[in-house]
Structure 1
Amino acid sequence: MRRRSLLTAALAAPVAAAGAVGALQSPAQAAVWSTDDDWGKWTDGAYTVNNHVWGSGAGYQSIWANSYSNWGVWADHPNTGGVKSYPHVAYQLGRDVWNMGSVSANTNVTVPTGSNLAYCTTYDVWGNGHDYEIMIWTQYHGAVGPIGSYVADVNLGGQNWAFYQGSNGSNAVYSFLARNHTTNSWVDITAHAQWLVANGRMPQVTIGEIAFGFEITSAAGGHNFNLNSYSLWT
């Protein structure tokens, strides 16, 4: 998958001393699949789980999965600014934005905290292939920020979001940042996509890939990011 989202230079984190190296956290039982291949992927029915280590200066990252809704990564990326990886689960919808139905999702994650960390927990929703990108940040930590400029606060799916719009030079990027961070989230994906079209921000596109995962900039010293549960209603 072509990668696009970058930190703005002003938000790049300074180099910090790495903490103690953590041990790879294991799932409750032996994982069905695991790899440390940067581009490793595993298919579970209609879903694909991806390690997706792609950014410049990335460190080590391994991924395990019991299912598309229960997986995690151990990441040790230096605190140098710039996105290093986007481990995620992906689903292909393939519906026109006005006929996509009631698409929503619920997730529960466990994420680390600390001074050597910078990441966001985010949906990545694509329109017309990779021409239009909708990012929905449910939780974020450290020196991270969206592409583009702040436009307005909006209420979608009963939740408040800070909306940003911009471009990475390859595609338009629309970012919704949750005003209330949570590791147990429900998101109305249809509401976000249709709001963009109804307000003239995005043309009437076909919604293709819907991804959810962790966009990691820094995880110095090694940290676990776990998706405990994931339900996508289409």
Structure 2
Amino acid sequence: MKRLSVVLALVAGLLLPLGAADTATAAACTHPEYVTSSPDGMWGNRGYWVHNDMWNASSYHVSQTLSACSFRNWKVTATADNSSGDGAVKTYPNVHKDFHNWSTGHEPRLRSFSHISSTWAARTPHVGVYDAAYDIWLNGVPGEHEVMIWTENFHQVPSGSGASHVATRRFGGHRWKVWATDDNGYIAFVPAHRLTHGKLALKKMLDWLVARGHLPHDVTLGAIDFGFEIVSTGGSPARFKVNDFSLTTRR
């Protein structure tokens, strides 16, 4: 979500199950390297940023604390509710890698990459309203296009009521619904079932969107994030944890 400081043969094999070694839960983060409750608290680690990102919390009663041992082993404890009834996302704690050059504004074209893939593993509380998702920003950060790839949906709706269901496809043996706004400013892949860990061929999914006309052929890549869009925790503290994350790119 927003931050300021995300033809069947084409998509076959996009979601690839990991082997037993890859699904192991990360060691408990008992002595975190970084802890913050700041709405924009952010920590750099090995080329990635771990971000508390309480981007839309100021008008609501929300608290959130992030603890990180590394970019691939971190958690947040959040308290939020939906007493307003508007269903708004309040926070998006995440790990991300920027491709946008914040000094020059330059971004690489998506087509300059031959391969982009990512692994993830996450644990969620199964209370309230939230989703776990990749958030990919294109043509800027925030940019003209936001592509979300949900791995879990708990009582959430893509982009509130602003997106329409435009396609259903099976990627790598899993069925996904694809949602998009009329201007393709927001696009979401939503799986039929909860996915707690795996490997995604992100470049192939984005190329499929280009082939369908949802993204322009000369689109640039701004950032790739993975985290949790939190609407509500039912008003009580709830924990969201990333146990694994990696990003592999080739050009």
1:13 aligned residue: none
The offset of 1:175, in angstroms, is: 0.6
TM-score by length of structure 2 reads 0.78
Q: Do the aligned residues in 2 keep the contact of 1:74 with 1:223 (CA within 8 Å)? A: yes
| CA distance, structure 1, for counterparts of residue 131 and residue 137 of structure 2 | 18
1:62 aligned residue: 65
The offset of 1:102, in angstroms, is: 1.5
The letter of the residue matching 1:222 is: P
The offset of 1:145, in angstroms, is: 0.5
1:213 aligned residue: 227
Which of 197, 201, 215 aligns to 1:202? It is 215
The letter of the residue matching 1:110 is: R
The offset of 1:105, in angstroms, is: 1.0
Gaps spanning 5+ residues in structure 1: where?
6-25
| CA distance, structure 2, for counterparts of residue 104 and residue 40 of structure 1 | 27
Secondary structure of the residue aligned to 1:95 is: coil
The offset of 1:101, in angstroms, is: 2.1
Distance 1:82 1:231, change over 3 A: same
Secondary structure of the residue aligned to 1:196 is: helix
Distance 1:58 1:132, change over 3 A: farther
TM-score by length of structure 1 reads 0.83
| CA distance, structure 2, for counterparts of residue 134 and residue 36 of structure 1 | 27
Gaps spanning 5+ residues in structure 2: where?
7-26, 100-106
Secondary structure of the residue aligned to 2:108 is: strand
Instruction: Encode CA deviations 1:51-75: one digit per residue, 9 max, x unaligned.
Output: 0112231411000101110101000
The letter of the residue matching 2:243 is: N
Secondary structure of the residue aligned to 2:210 is: helix
The offset of 1:158, in angstroms, is: 4.5
How much identity, in percent, do the aligned residues show?
33
The offset of 1:212, in angstroms, is: 0.3
Q: Do the aligned residues in 2 keep the contact of 1:156 with 1:188 (CA within 8 Å)? A: no
2:11 aligned residue: none
1:228 aligned residue: 243
The offset of 1:98, in angstroms, is: 1.9
Distance 1:208 1:86, change over 3 A: same
Which of 85, 90, 98 aligns to 1:84? It is 90
Distance 1:118 1:2, change over 3 A: closer
Which of 126, 149, 157 aligns to 1:136? It is 149
Aligned-pair RMSD on alpha carbons?
Answer: 2.2
Q: Do the aligned residues in 2 keep the contact of 1:157 with 1:191 (CA within 8 Å)? A: no
Number of equivalences: 209
Q: Do the aligned residues in 2 keep the contact of 1:156 with 1:191 (CA within 8 Å)? A: no
Instruction: Encode CA deviations 1:131-171: one digit per residue, 9 max, x unaligned.
Output: 111000011112x101310011023344321001116x9x7
The offset of 1:210, in angstroms, is: 0.2
1:49 aligns with 2:50: yes
| CA distance, structure 2, for counterparts of residue 159 and residue 103 of structure 1 | 19
